[in-house]
Amino acid sequence: MTIRSVIAGVGAYLPANAVSNADLAKRVDTSDEWITERTGIKKRHIVADGEKTSDLAIAAARAALGSAGLSGDKIDLIVVATTTPDETFPATAARVQAALARPGIPSFDVQAVCSGFVYGLAVVDNFIKAGQAKSAIVIGAEAFTRLLDWSDRNTCVLFGDGAGAVVLTAGEGRGDSADRGILSTHLHSDGRQHDMLYVDGGPGSTQTTGHVRMKGKEVFRHAVTNLTEAVHEALAANSVQASAIDWIVPHQANKRILDTTAEKLGIDPSKVIVTVDQHANTSAASIPLALNQGVADGRIRPGQLVLMEAMGGGFTWGSALVRM
Ligand code: UT7
């Protein structure tokens, strides 16, 4: 018997304020044509004044609990993947815990930028497999636009805000790829690539929040290479062929990255869940937002094989292969 972390519910939340490329072009030297052609992005949601990452996280977690048919008092672990915590400390997860779950359960944040949700899944999967949690929530939540330099058109048009969450519950399997639940996670990082994608501030350096800085072309190249390798690694570890994957739910940074990676893998682009057009890059929130979209519109169904993959600042990257 193998313990598996089964996705029992999925939920998401987007701030009400939707901003189109045309809206952005009124305040930034850009155009709908450039953004659409280079990225596939058509709009993004942006937090309102006073709206915080924890607000988004709590709303997404409530939706995931509702979809799982569970109440918060059944949860024994909360992990929030975020780059934009409400405060430097305490963790945003503690806010979620206070709002949703019984006092005393562990809660903490994971910081792996755009790979954060995959990192969070891996951490919680290991807690569940070790018998230290039976029901957990993993949330990817970002008020990422708070990190943008609105005078830098190379970055400010690319990102948005939002949150997505899954409820994971301990289940039993036979130990093969027919099991329901998380079949594998693989995580990587390469800190030598810091200067490719980073925020130029922080409590320990400038005592300011800082802004996102990115060498877009180089990040693009690394993303395609690392994500392709991550997918091969997940398939090999599970003795699964690419053709067995029902859905790829990738981190949503750029439609061209999604298309190029699918092409390199020989995977039909129609099997890739795409939300970057609607949400832009929401960092740690992008995978659970896309997963929620695929489940909500009926494309992703119980029993199907879903491969999540992400790459972000650090660099960090990784994958999670899950049977729904
Ligand atoms: O989530 C973490 C991972 N992040 C990523 O994966 C992002 C990866 N990188 C990318 O998605 C792409 O590299 C970008 C979308 C960031 C940029 O696309 P690109 O095709 O690599 O464009 P570029 O950087 O080569 O810029 C081309 C031109 C430049 O003008 P010149 O120098 O050729 O005259 C830029 O100044 O486009 C210009 N440009 C813009 N023009 C209008 C850059 N940003 C804009 C803009 N609007 N917003």
List pLDDT tens digits, range 79-137: 999 999 999 999 999 999 999 988 999 999 999 999 999 999 999 999 999 999 999 99
**Residue 76 CA, ligand 1 centroid: distance in Å:** 43
Please choose from 114, 220, 279, 283 the residue to mutate so as to test ligand 1's pocket, defined by most ligand atoms within 8 A of CB.
220
Q: Are residues 19 and 160 in the same domain?
A: yes
**Number of domains within the chain:** 2
Same domain, 220 and 169: no
Please answer whether residues 314 and 115 qualify as being in contact, where contact means their C-beta atoms are separated by less than 8 angstroms: yes
How much is the pTM? Answer: 0.98
Percent of the chain whose predicted confidence (pLDDT) is above 70: 100
Q: Domain check: are 185 and 112 in the same one?
A: no
CA 276 to ligand 1 center in whole angstroms = 16
Q: Which of 140, 157, 173 is the last residue of a domain?
A: 173
151 and 6 inside one domain = yes
- Specify whether 25 is located in the same domain as 168: yes
Contact 135/167 with Cβ under 8 angstroms? Answer: yes
**Same-domain check for residues 169 and 197:** no
CA of residue 224 to ligand 1 center, whole Å: 16
Look at residue 198 in the predicted model and tell me its pLDDT.
98
User: Which tokens hold the place of 321?
Assistant: 């292969």
Residue nearest to atom 48 of ligand 1 (CA): 153
Cα(187) to centroid(ligand 1), Å:
27
Q: Which residue has the tokens 């009400």?
A: 16
The string of pLDDT tens digits covering residues 11-60 is: 999 999 999 999 999 999 999 999 999 999 999 999 999 999 999 999 99
Place of tokens 């939707």: 18
Determine which residue's CA is closest to atom 14 belonging to ligand 1: 216
Residues 226 and 293 in one domain: yes
Last residue in a domain, options 138, 173, 208:
173
Same domain, yes or no: 137 and 199: no
Token pair in block for residue 324: 């729904």
Atom of ligand 1 nearest to the CA of 217: 13
Same-domain status, 263 and 130:
no
The 3-class secondary structure across 45-90, one letter per residue, is ECCCCCCCHHHHHHHHHHHHHHHHCCCHHHCCEEEEECCCCCCCCC
The finding on whether 30 has its CB within 6 A of some atom of ligand 1 is yes
The reply to whether 268 and 292 lie within a common domain is yes
Are residues 167 and 212 both part of a single domain? no
**Torsional class of 207: left (φ above 0), alpha (ψ -120 to 50), beta (otherwise):** left
CATH number at residue 19: 3.40.47.10
Active site residues: 114, 251, 281
- Containing structural domain, residue 251: 181-323
257 lines ligand 1 (CB under 6 A): yes
Mean pLDDT of the chain: 97
Percent of the chain residues topping a pLDDT of 90: 99
Cβ neighbours for 96, distance < 8 A, ≥ 6 positions apart: 54, 57, 58, 61, 78, 80, 107, 137, 139
Boundary (domain end) residue, out of 131, 150, 173? 173
